[in-house]
C-alpha cells in the first residue's frame, strides 16, 4: 500500500500568498489590475497544485512497478514532492511574476508614474487603530505562539521527531519510521499553517492602503 498524507498546504496557500505579495508590491501598476492579476495567479497556483497531486500517484506506481518487493519503492514520489516543494514552485512563481511584469508593461508604468509624480494608491503603516484591528493583532499573535507550542509542547510530535532523527541516523526505512515521518510532517504542516495565518493577519492589519482624496486611480 502507498500512503500519502494530503494537508491544507496542498491547496498552495503559501504559494498564493507569495505570488500575491510579489504582484501587489509592484508599484506603478494600477491597483485594480494588481488585484485582478493576483486573483488569477492564485487560481493558476491552485490548479498547478492539483496537477502536482495527481502526478504523485503514477510516479509512486512506476517506482513500485520497477521494484515490486522493495520496501520504500515509492521513494521517487517523495523525491519529486521534495523537489517541487523546495525549489520547483519557487521557480514557477518567480517565472509567473516575470511574465506578468512583462505582460502589463510594468517597467513603463513605473517610469511614467515616477515622471508624472501623480498620486497613487500606496501601502502605508496603519496610524489609527480600532477595536477590530487590535483584536486581529491579538488573535494573530496567539496563532504564532500556538504554532510553536503545538510542536514544542506536544509530546507526540517531539517523540515523532526523535524517531525521525534516529531513523535518519540509522538510514532506516521501516514502517515505524514511515509513520514517524508522517506524524512529524503533519505536525510541522499544521504549525506552518497557523504561523502563516498569524503573519497574514499581522501584515494585513499593520499595513493599509492610502487612497489619495484629490484624484481617483485609473
3-class DSSP assignment, residue 208: strand
Q: Are residues 2 and 108 in the same domain?
A: yes
Q: Are residues 112 and 125 in the same domain?
A: no
Q: What percent of the chain lies above the pLDDT cut of 90?
A: 10
Compute the average pLDDT of residues 55-63.
77
Select from 63, 88, 118 the last residue of a domain.
Answer: 118
pLDDT above 70: residue 1: no
pLDDT above 60: residue 57: yes
CA–CA distance, 94 with 18 (Å, rounded to integer): 9
Identify which of 168, 160, 214 has the alpha carbon closest to the alpha carbon of residue 187: 160
Q: Are residues 132 and 100 in the same domain?
A: no
3-state secondary structure string across 15-77: HHHHHHHHHHCCCCCCHHHHHHHHHHHHHHHHHHHHHHHHHHHHHHHHHHHHCCCCCCCCHHH
Q: Which of 54-63, 87-96, 114-123 has the highest mean pLDDT?
A: 87-96
Which structural domain range is residue 75 located in?
A: 1-118
Band (215; pLDDT cuts 50, 70, 90): very low
Select from 118, 153, 184 the last residue of a domain.
Answer: 118
When mean pLDDT is compared across 2-6, 46-50, 56-60, 108-112, the lowest value belongs to 2-6
pLDDT above 70: residue 172: no
Q: Which helix (H) or strand (E) holds 126?
A: none
Supply the pLDDT for residue 187.
79
Supply the pLDDT for residue 5.
60
pLDDT above 70: residue 117: no
Q: Are residues 99 and 33 in the same domain?
A: yes
Select from 84, 118, 152 the last residue of a domain.
Answer: 118
Q: Are residues 111 and 126 in the same domain?
A: no
CA–CA distance, 74 with 61 (Å, rounded to integer): 7
CA dihedral 178, 183, 188, 193 (to 10 degrees): 120
Q: What is the rounded average pLDDT for all residues in the chain?
A: 78
Supply the pLDDT for residue 159.
84
Q: How many domains does the chain have?
A: 2
Q: Which of 80-84, 129-133, 155-159 has the highest mean pLDDT?
A: 129-133
Q: Are residues 113 and 147 in the same domain?
A: no
Amino acid at each position: 500500500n502507498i500512503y500519502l498524507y494530503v494537508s491544507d498546504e496542498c491547496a498552495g496557500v503559501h504559494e498564493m500568498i507569495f505570488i500575491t505579495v510579489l504582484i501587489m508590491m509592484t508599484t506603478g501598476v494600477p491597483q485594480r489590475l494588481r488585484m485582478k492579476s493576483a486573483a488569477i495567479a492564485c487560481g493558476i497556483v491552485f490548479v498547478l497544485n492539483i496537477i502536482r497531486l495527481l502526478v504523485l500517484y503514477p510516479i509512486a506506481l512506476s517506482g513500485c512497478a520497477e521494484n515490486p518487493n522493495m520496501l520504500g519503492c515509492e521513494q521517487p514520489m517523495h523525491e519529486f514532492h521534495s523537489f517541487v516543494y523546495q525549489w520547483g514552485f519557487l521557480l514557477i512563481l518567480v517565472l509567473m511574476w516575470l511574465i506578468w511584469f512583462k505582460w502589463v508593461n510594468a517597467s513603463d508604468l513605473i517610469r511614467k508614474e515616477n515622471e508624472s509624480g501623480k498620486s497613487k494608491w500606496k501601502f502605508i503603516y496603519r496610524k489609527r487603530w480600532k477595536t477590530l484591528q487590535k483584536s486581529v493583532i491579538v488573535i494573530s499573535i496567539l496563532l504564532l505562539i500556538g504554532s510553536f507550542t503545538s510542536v514544542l509542547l506536544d509530546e507526540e510530535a517531539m517523540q515523532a521527531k526523535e524517531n525521525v532523527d534516529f531513523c535518519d541516523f540509522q538510514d532506516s526505512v521501516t514502517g515505524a519510521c514511515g509513520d514517524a515521518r508522517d506524524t512529524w510532517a503533519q505536525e510541522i504542516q499544521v504549525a506552518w499553517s497557523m504561523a502563516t495565518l498569524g503573519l497574514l493577519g499581522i501584515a494585513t492589519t499593520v499595513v493599509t492602503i492610502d487612497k489619495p482624496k484629490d484624484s481617483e486611480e485609473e
